[in-house]
């Protein structure tokens, strides 16, 4: 099961995130998402646990927990939506515009 964790302290590293969930069962991976330019944490991450029952227990017990002075949110991760490259009515294209 893939788990989404938000409102993380910017000091939390991958290993810290993994340790929060390891008490509930095997953790396949834990990744804090970082900004591509600054390499600083973006305040959220993902944890993968192969045992769904253990993952559900971790979600139930860790959602709303205080970690490093912040109340974290823990949920089942939703599948990533594909980004569309087509233009929408909210996007502007200035290519070819002449004044």
* CATH architecture observed for domain 2-76: 2-Layer Sandwich (3.30)
What are the pLDDT digits (tens) for 38-92? 999 999 999 999 999 999 999 999 999 999 899 999 999 998 777 666 555 555 5
**What b/e sequence results for 1-30 when a residue is b if at least 16 CB atoms lie within 10 Å of its CB, and e otherwise?**
bebebeebeeebeeebbbebbeebeebeeb
What are the pLDDT digits (tens) for 32-41? 999 999 999 9
Q: Can you tell me whether residue 42 is helix, strand or coil? A: strand
| All structural domains of the chain with their residue ranges | 2-76
The residue count of the chain comes to 99
Q: Can you tell me whether residue 88 is helix, strand or coil? A: coil
- The answer to whether the CB of 45 falls within 8 A of the CB of 30 is yes
- Tell me the C-alpha distance between 62 and 77, whole Å: 15
Mean pLDDT for the stretch of residues 14-27: 97
């Amino acid at each position: 099961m893939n788990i989404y964790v938000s409102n993380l302290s910017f000091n939390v590293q991958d290993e810290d995130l993994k340790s929060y969930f390891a008490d509930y069962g095997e953790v396949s991976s834990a990744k804090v998402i970082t900004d591509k330019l600054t390499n600083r944490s973006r305040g959220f991450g993902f944890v993968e646990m192969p045992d769904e029952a253990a993952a559900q227990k971790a979600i139930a017990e860790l959602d709303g927990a205080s970690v490093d002075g912040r109340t974290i949110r823990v949920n089942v991760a939703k599948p990533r939506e594909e980004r569309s490259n087509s233009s929408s009515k909210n996007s502007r294209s200035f290519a070819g515009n002449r004044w």
